[in-house]
Structure 1
Amino acid sequence: MPRHPDIEIYVKNASVESIRSWLEQCFGELPPFKKRGDSQQAKVQGIPIVIVERAAGKEFTSIWFDSAATPWETDLDCAKEASKMLSCQVRCIRSGWEEQQDPDEWWKVDGDEVTAILWKG
């Protein structure tokens, strides 16, 4: 599978503090994030990162890395690491988005368990 041009995952019931802690483990010290409503944004090692609380219902927080230069090749690689490090369920799109792809096809990652699901977020 080719490297995705950006990475987006949805973490279930994880606090922004725990997400920032995980990001620090991945990238080192973080700059201050600019807060706008439910959104927080920062550029970390040249990678724009956006965290959006309540992005899908009240349970899921979106983490979007707007770059292909992340430590992960695919959304699923990132979701697997996030699920283990945050001890929570993480969801991501089944593949890099393509015109013919069903936008409701997702991976649900819970620790070592990866399941294909249909999710209308």
Structure 2
Amino acid sequence: MQDLEIYIRDLEPAAVSGWLENQLDDVQLDDSDVTSVVKGSALFNGTRLRITLYPGAFGKRFTSVLMEGDDLPWNSDLDCARSAWRAMEGEIRCSTGDWKEGDPVEDEKWWRLDHRGEQRVVWN
């Protein structure tokens, strides 16, 4: 099982389902209320994906969007974040993939995609 995870700042209701409906088939995700955990699914290449939204990540303003499945529509968290940003145009963050267990968290860099472009930043 593979996974992709991105973080969306100030997520608007129905924004994730609106984005994914243009990317995947049979999207089953009721994100009309994004104040609590939302679980759903979709099809990609005939394979079912699990989609979970976790509000309140990293200081409460971000919602984690986690997709899990055997076949995913993007090759990396960054590719997924780029797709989400094109659809929503808000601030999207994701891991650079460089961090390893035992590395100091304060040195961890993230991709931030927003109106200023793509930048590697420390979360704070």
Question: Does the alignment reach a TM-score above 0.5?
Answer: yes
The alignment partner of 1:85 has SS state of: helix
C-alpha displacement of 1:98: 3.6
**Structure 1 residues 76 and 68, CA, compared in 2 at 3 Å: closer, same or farther?**
farther
Residues in 2 aligned to 1:112 and 1:68: alpha-carbon distance in whole angstroms: 34
C-alpha displacement of 1:49: 0.7
Residues in 2 aligned to 1:108 and 1:93: alpha-carbon distance in whole angstroms: 9
Q: How many residues align?
A: 116
**Counterpart in the other structure of 1:108:** 112
**Structure 1 residues 101 and 25, CA, compared in 2 at 3 Å: closer, same or farther?**
farther
**Offset from partner CA, 1:15-40 (integer Å, 9 cap, x none):** 131111111111134225599x7111
**Offset from partner CA, 1:82-114 (integer Å, 9 cap, x none):** 111101110000117543655532100115711
C-alpha displacement of 1:43: 2.4
Which runs of 5 or more structure 2 residues have no equivalent in the other structure? none
**Structure 1 residues 29 and 119, CA, compared in 2 at 3 Å: closer, same or farther?**
same
Letter in 2 for 1:9: I
Letter in 2 for 1:50: T
Which runs of 5 or more structure 1 residues have no equivalent in the other structure? none
Identity of aligned residues (%): 26
Which structure has the higher relative contact order (CA within 8 Å, separation 6+)?
Answer: 1
Which segments of structure 1 move beyond 6 Å, counting only runs of 4 or more? none
Instruction: Please show how residues 28-39 of structure 1 align to structure 2 within 5 Å.
Output: 28-33=25-30, 38-39=36-37
**Counterpart in the other structure of 1:118:** 122
| Alignment match of 2:79 (pick from 77, 80, 95) | 77
Instruction: Please show how residues 14-29 of structure 1 align to structure 2 within 5 Å.
Output: 14-29=11-26
The alignment partner of 2:111 has SS state of: strand
Residues in 1 aligned to 2:75 and 2:103: alpha-carbon distance in whole angstroms: 19
Letter in 2 for 1:119: W
**Counterpart in the other structure of 2:49:** 47
Letter in 2 for 1:73: N
Residues in 1 aligned to 2:21 and 2:112: alpha-carbon distance in whole angstroms: 24
Tell whether the 8 Å contact from 2:29 to 2:38 is kept in structure 1 after alignment: no
Residues in 2 aligned to 1:69 and 1:112: alpha-carbon distance in whole angstroms: 31
The alignment partner of 1:69 has SS state of: coil
